[in-house]
């Protein structure tokens, strides 16, 4: 069994990140670059792997990460509005991430080996914006993947059927507003949001040959 654990604490000066600026062309806020005078991250990583038998491999990894802007504020300047992100979390950074996998091989004498396995990824939620607004928070995610294959005895040919995101889970990876808030009606003041999403269930077959 192999275990690798690492703890870390990082200080950043003039960390480059994104801020919002009003565009007179589109009449909406767009993303531009800015520098956070100081920020820090801390956490740990734990990686474990084991081979209980010659034909079975197991792995489990966990990452814990906290982030914070220590000093990141400025008054309004041109089309960039005043902002204060001090004490906020970095966008796009989940606090916990987990990964577990199992791979198994069953030898077939004279023919080769059947191989199969699976993995699970899971992470906690995170914010899409520096202000950590609840409407821009991405919820926790999990994905399940699996494969089954056959390798010939001379190890020259491989046939593998793989399925990713077996549960066909749907998640956003980021959220940003579309234009300005609705001005009238029962939903006045509501911002419409858009964002990138993860790939849907994907199944593919691969053939490999070594010569």
Q: What is the pLDDT of residue 107?
A: 94
Closest alpha carbon to 167 in 192, 147, 145, 195: 145
pLDDT at position 20: 60
Average pLDDT per run of 10 along the chain, which is 211 residues long?
Answer: 90 76 60 80 96 94 95 77 86 95 94 96 93 90 97 93 96 83 76 87 94 80
Q: Cα–Cα distance between 45 and 65 in angstroms, integer?
A: 9
Pairing relationship of beta strands 112-123 and 126-127 according to DSSP bridges: unpaired
Helices (H) and strands (E) in the chain, counts: 0, 14
For 28-38, the pLDDT digits (tens) are: 656 667 778 89
Look at phi and psi of residue 92 and say left if phi exceeds 0, alpha if psi is from -120 to 50, else beta.
left
> Which of 88, 169, 175 lies closest to 123 in space, CA to CA?
169
| Token pair for 106 | 């069953």
- Pairing relationship of beta strands 56-71 and 96-108 according to DSSP bridges: antiparallel
Measured distance CA(96)–CA(49) in Å, rounded: 19
Q: What are the structure tokens assigned to 95, written together?
A: 């606090």
Share of the chain above pLDDT 90, in %: 58
**What is the Cα–Cα distance from 122 to 99, expressed in whole angstroms?**
7
Cβ neighbours, 10 Å, residue 126: 23
């Amino acid at each position: 069994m192999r275990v690798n654990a690492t703890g870390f604490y990082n200080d950043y000066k003039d960390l480059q990140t994104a801020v919002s600026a009003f565009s007179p062309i589109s009449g909406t806020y767009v993303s531009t670059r800015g520098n956070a005078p100081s920020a820090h991250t801390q956490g740990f990583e734990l990686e474990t792997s084991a081979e209980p038998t010659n034909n079975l491999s197991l792995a489990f990894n966990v990452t814990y990460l906290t982030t914070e802007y220590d000093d990141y504020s400025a008054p309004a300047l041109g089309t960039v509005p005043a902002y204060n992100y001090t004490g906020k979390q970095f966008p796009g950074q989940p606090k916990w991430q987990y990964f577990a996998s199992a791979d198994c091989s069953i030898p077939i004498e004279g023919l080769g080996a059947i191989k199969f396995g699976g993995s699970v990824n899971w992470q906690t939620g995170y914010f899409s914006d520096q202000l950590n607004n609840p409407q821009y928070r991405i919820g926790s995610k999990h994905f399940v993947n699996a494969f089954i294959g056959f390798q010939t005895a001379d190890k020259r040919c491989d046939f593998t059927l793989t399925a990713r995101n077996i549960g066909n889970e749907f998640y956003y990876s980021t959220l940003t507003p579309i234009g300005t808030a609705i001005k009238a009606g029962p939903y006045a003041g509501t911002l419409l949001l858009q964002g990138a999403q993860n790939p849907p269930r994907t199944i593919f077959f691969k053939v490999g040959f070594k010569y």
